[in-house]
């Protein structure tokens, strides 16, 4: 027993054994606890559709053995009386290991979010999924940059000059690629805010077409005439974009004219005739039909109705059916459409005026 009382580096031998036992106990306990929790969470994640359990599985799976070893050694060292330099060294190693582990956890969190988002968007918005993956790389890079800087600071490295140098270099790079960064952040805004997605029909100024691709710098639109129009993302965000795919219903206004010779009772009956024709159509809500004005060469009528389906082809099919219906009804009633005419009245002078 005298051997156990022998002092070795300011601590009795038995205390070294206690520290070793603490190291082994903490290490083994952490490993067993981690495996048990991981196994239970995997079974739970397989049975439930929730995200939290999947995220916990992802983070626990990212826990590194090196962190467990360093944490166990640091826990065992707390039972010993060690020189100040040894205490500070172990503390720094533990903090650095904790920072690295936090970096792996942050990396796992970002990877989990990207994987779920990309899987959800891959079929409907593949280009957006690609942009999100690129954004995830930037976020991971930022996480590791912060971890490394804090770790270097704990190791005693003066990072003030390093941060200043990185700041100056970052400003220079940002000025050099200002337009690229503007488009990049605009792309992120489009991805997050979703003013339009792939497949939407948009109008920007006098340009219009279907969105084909949303990239990190540009958005590409296929015009009605067939060519591809390339917009920079920053230009799109600074413009007024009309998204016809988000239209809930389409308001239609159309007019026609009949001859001035049309009898008054027939003119009075025309709005009800048009209403009946419009209401026979599918996906249509009639609003009004009025004898609007006395035109230069016709009695002008104006009709308003709504198409409940935003599809342009549906609107055109409906308008065509209404036009044909009006033509047939007017043929039956003997009503003639007006067209631009001028009537010249020639007055013969009287004998007194000659």
Higher pLDDT, 189 or 119: 189
- pLDDT for the residue numbered 4: 54
Most confident of 3-17, 55-69, 242-256, 331-345: 242-256
Q: Are 40 and 53 in contact (CB under 8 A)?
A: no
Whether the pLDDT of residue 3 is over 90: the answer is: no
Cα–Cα–Cα angle for 52, 56, 59, nearest 5°? 135
Nearest alpha-carbon partner for 260 in 297, 223, 217: 297
End-to-end CA distance of the chain: 155
Q: What is the 3-state secondary structure (H, E, C) of the chain?
A: CCHHHCEECCEEHHHHHHHHHHHHHHHHHHHHHHHHHHHHHHHHHHHCCCCHHHHHHHHHHCCCHHHHHHHHHHHHHCCCCCCHHHHHHHHHHHHHHHHHHHHHHHHHHHHHHHHHHHHHHCCCCHHHHHHHHHHHHHHHHHHHHHHHHHHHHHCCCCCHHHHHHHHHHHHHHHHHCHHHHHHHHHHHHHHHHCCCCCCCEEEECCEEEEEEEECCCEEEEEECCCCEEEEEHHHHHCCCEEEHHHCCCEEEEEEEEECCCCCHHHHHHHHHHHHHHHHCCCCEEEEEEEEEEECCCCEEEEEEEEECCCCHHHHHHHHHHHHHHHHHHHHHHCCCECCCCCCCCCCCCCCCCC
Q: For residue 88, is pLDDT > 80? A: yes
Q: Which of 20-34, 54-68, 176-190 has the highest mean pLDDT?
A: 20-34
The pLDDT assigned to 218 comes to 83
pLDDT at 273 over 90: yes
∠ Cα 97 98 103 (to 5°): 95
pLDDT at 265 over 80: yes
| pLDDT given at position 53 | 64
Higher pLDDT, 249 or 116: 249
Among 199, 213, 198, 208, residue whose Cα is nearest residue 239: 208
Residue ranges covered by each domain of the chain: 3-176, 190-245, 250-333
Q: Is residue 28 over pLDDT 90?
A: no
pLDDT at 8 over 80: no
Q: May I ask the CATH class of domain 190-245?
A: mainly beta
Label residue 200 by pLDDT band (50, 70, 90): confident
pLDDT of residue 118: 67
Closest CA to 341 of 258, 242, 221: 258
Question: Which position has the higher pLDDT, 282 or 345?
Answer: 282
Tell me: the pLDDT tens digits for 316-340? 999 999 999 999 999 999 999 988 7
CATH code for residues 250-333: 3.30.70.100
Output 162 or 206, whichever has higher pLDDT.
206
Q: What is the 3-state secondary structure (H, E, C) of 241-276?
A: EEEHHHCCCEEEEEEEEECCCCCHHHHHHHHHHHHH
- pLDDT band at residue 212 under the 50/70/90 scheme: confident
Pick from 187, 179, 174: nearest CA to 233: 187
Confidence of residue 169 (pLDDT cuts 50, 70, 90): low
Q: What is the pLDDT of residues 227-241, one digit of tens each?
A: 899 988 888 888 888
Tokens at 83, concatenated: 């020189």
Q: Is the model more confident about 184 or about 272?
A: 272
Whether 71 contacts 28, CB under 8 Å = no
pLDDT of residue 268: 94
Both structure tokens of 11: 């601590």
pLDDT in tens, 135-151: 777 778 788 788 887 78
Mean confidence (pLDDT) of the chain: 80
Query: 298: pLDDT confidence band, cut at 50, 70 and 90?
Result: very high
What is the pLDDT averaged over residues 271-289? 94
Buried b (16+ CB within 10 A) or exposed e, 290-305: eeeeeeeebbbbebeb
Q: What does the pLDDT average to over 195-218?
A: 83
Give the per-residue pLDDT at 270: 95
Measured CA to CA, the distance from residue 62 to residue 31 in angstroms comes to 13
User: Tokens standing for 203?
Assistant: 């109008």
**Range in 78-82, 92-96, 217-221 the model is least confident about:** 78-82
CA distance 68 to 31: 8
């Amino acid at each position: 027993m005298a051997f156990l009382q022998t002092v070795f580096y300011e601590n009795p031998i038995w205390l070294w054994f206690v520290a070793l036992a603490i190291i082994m106990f903490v290490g083994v306990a952490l490993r067993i606890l981690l495996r048990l929790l991981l196994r239970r969470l995997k079974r739970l994640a397989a049975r439930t559709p929730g995200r939290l359990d999947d995220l916990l599985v992802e983070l626990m799976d990212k826990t590194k053995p090196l962190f467990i070893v360093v944490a166990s050694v640091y826990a065992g060292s707390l039972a010993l009386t060690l020189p100040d330099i040894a205490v500070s060294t172990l503390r720094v190693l533990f903090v650095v290991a904790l920072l690295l582990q936090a970096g792996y956890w942050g990396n796992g969190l970002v990877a989990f979010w990207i994987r779920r988002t990309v899987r959800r968007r891959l079929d409907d918005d593949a280009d957006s999924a690609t942009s999100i993956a690129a954004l995830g790389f930037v976020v991971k890079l930022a996480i590791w940059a912060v971890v490394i800087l804090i770790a270097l600071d704990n190791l005693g490295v003066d990072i003030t000059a390093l941060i200043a140098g990185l700041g100056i270099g970052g400003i220079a790079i940002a000025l050099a690629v200002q337009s690229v960064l503007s488009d990049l952040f605009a792309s992120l805004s489009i991805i997050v805010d979703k003013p339009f997605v792939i497949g939407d029909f948009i109008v920007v100024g006098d340009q219009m077409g279907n969105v084909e691709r949303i990239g990190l710098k540009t958005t590409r639109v296929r015009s009605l005439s067939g060519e591809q129009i390339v917009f920079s993302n920053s230009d799109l965000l600074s413009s007024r974009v009309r998204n016809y795919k988000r239209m809930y219903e389409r308001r239609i206004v159309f007019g026609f004219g009949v001859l001035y010779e049309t009898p008054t009772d027939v003119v009075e009956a025309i709005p009800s005739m048009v209403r009946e024709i419009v209401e026979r159509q599918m996906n249509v809500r009639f609003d009004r039909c009025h004898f609007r004005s006395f035109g230069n060469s016709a009695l002008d009528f104006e009709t308003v109705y709504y198409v409940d389906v935003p599809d342009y082809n549906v609107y055109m099919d409906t308008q065509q059916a209404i036009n044909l219906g009006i033509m047939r009804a007017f043929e039956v009633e003997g009503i003639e459409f007006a067209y631009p005419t001028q009537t010249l009245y020639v007055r013969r002078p009287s004998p007194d005026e000659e």
